[in-house]
């Protein structure tokens, strides 16, 4: 069985051209049938690993999901996290900063949402918006957002040193696939609410966003907080890839159940 994780990793220090990656591809998996079977096994295993993470209570896992509009962030959360206990998972969706968030530095609200020990946290968008949309739309000068790559790297390194494992997933779809998904939102009454005129406006900046993503992935994929480019045109493969990387990472944490607080051999029930 091929190692999907190794195939999708953005190697630290490497150059990245998204145009060289096929969003339709399925690296490490030959057929949909194989992918669906592996995905179901991953879901079952994640259920066990989440319980172990919670019981140990010493570390946490943060999964960051980024992607262009209609890239599949919501669908990934719904499918990949389907077997997890909601008590041990937090999902945070980051919108435009508002209220008290605007009165702090851009990482304040991110740090506030980092999962507690024993928990899995999922970010639907994240601090990377500060080098993506901010860059594309010139919301702050380049001499401001240009410093944020290093700030983000230091921030993530601090989290890792304090016990939070970080995985970052860029859900990569083609421009044609985005168009197809937008058209589905328009044609399906149950999905009309998901469509926004702003989606069409943002689509005009496709090339600028791809360039911004490439820079962020190159500068911020580190051994302690790696980026993975997930070919996401095929939803079944997207789900397989994310679930497999999560499973492998949790297994490598070598978690242990805590020792009982009492000598259980001496317990007797009347």
Does residue 259 lie in a domain region? no
In a domain, 180, yes or no: yes
Instruction: Quick: pLDDT tens for 180-232.
Output: 999 999 998 888 888 888 888 999 999 999 999 999 999 999 999 999 999 99
pLDDT at 25: 98
46-105 pLDDT tens trace: 999 999 999 999 999 999 999 999 999 999 999 999 999 999 999 999 999 999 999 999
pLDDT at residue 138 tops 80: yes
Strand order in the sheet with 227-231: 89-93, 120-124, 60-67, 164-172, 227-231
| Mean pLDDT of the 16-42 span | 97
pLDDT at 215: 98
What integer is the mean pLDDT of 146-162?
A: 98
Q: Is residue 262 part of a domain?
A: no
Q: Which domain holds residue 219?
A: 4-252
In a domain, 264, yes or no: no
- The arithmetic mean of pLDDT across residues 118-128, rounded, is 98
Tell me whether residue 152 is in a domain.
yes
Task: Tell me the mean pLDDT in the region 150-175.
Answer: 98
Does 263 fall in a domain? no
Residue-level pLDDT at 5? 97
Q: In the chain, pLDDT over 90 holds for what percent of residues?
A: 88
Does 99 reside within a domain? Answer: yes
Q: pTM for the whole thing? A: 0.95
Q: Quick check: is 224 in a domain? A: yes
Q: For the chain, how many structural domains are there in total?
A: 1
- What CATH number is attached to the domain comprising 140? 3.40.50.300
Q: What pLDDT is attached to residue 208?
A: 98
Of 259 and 235, the structure prediction assigns the larger pLDDT to 235
Strand partners, 67: 171
């Amino acid at each position: 069985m091929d190692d999907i994780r190794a195939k999708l990793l953005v190697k630290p220090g490497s150059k990245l051209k998204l145009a060289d990656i096929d969003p339709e591809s399925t690296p490490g998996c030959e057929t949909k049938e194989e992918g669906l079977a592996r995905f179901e096994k991953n879901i079952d295993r994640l259920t066990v690993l989440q319980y172990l993470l919670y019981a140990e209570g010493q570390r946490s896992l943060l999964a960051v999901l980024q992607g262009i509009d209609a890239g599949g962030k919501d669908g990934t959360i719904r499918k990949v996290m389907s077997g997890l206990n909601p008590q041990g998972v937090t999902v945070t969706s980051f919108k435009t900063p508002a209220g008290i968030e605007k009165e702090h530095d851009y990482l304040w609200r991110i740090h506030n949402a980092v999962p507690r020990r024993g928990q899995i946290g999922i970010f639907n968008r994240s601090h990377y918006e500060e080098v993506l949309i901010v860059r594309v739309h010139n919301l702050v000068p380049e001499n401001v957002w240009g410093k944020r790559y290093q700030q983000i790297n230091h921030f993530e390194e601090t989290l890792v040193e304090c016990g939070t494992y970080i995985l970052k997933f860029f859900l990569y779809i083609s421009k044609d696939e985005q168009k197809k998904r937008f058209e589905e939102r328009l044609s399906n009454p149950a999905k009309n609410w998901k469509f926004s005129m702003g989606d069409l406006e943002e689509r005009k900046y496709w090339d600028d966003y791809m360039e911004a993503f490439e820079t962020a992935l190159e500068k911020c994929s580190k051994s302690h907080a790696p980026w993975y480019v997930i070919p996401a045109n095929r939803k079944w493969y997207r789900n397989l890839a994310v679930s497999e990387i999560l499973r492998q990472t949790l297994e490598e944490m070598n978690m242990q159940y805590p020792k009982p607080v009492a000598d259980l051999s001496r317990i007797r029930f009347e």
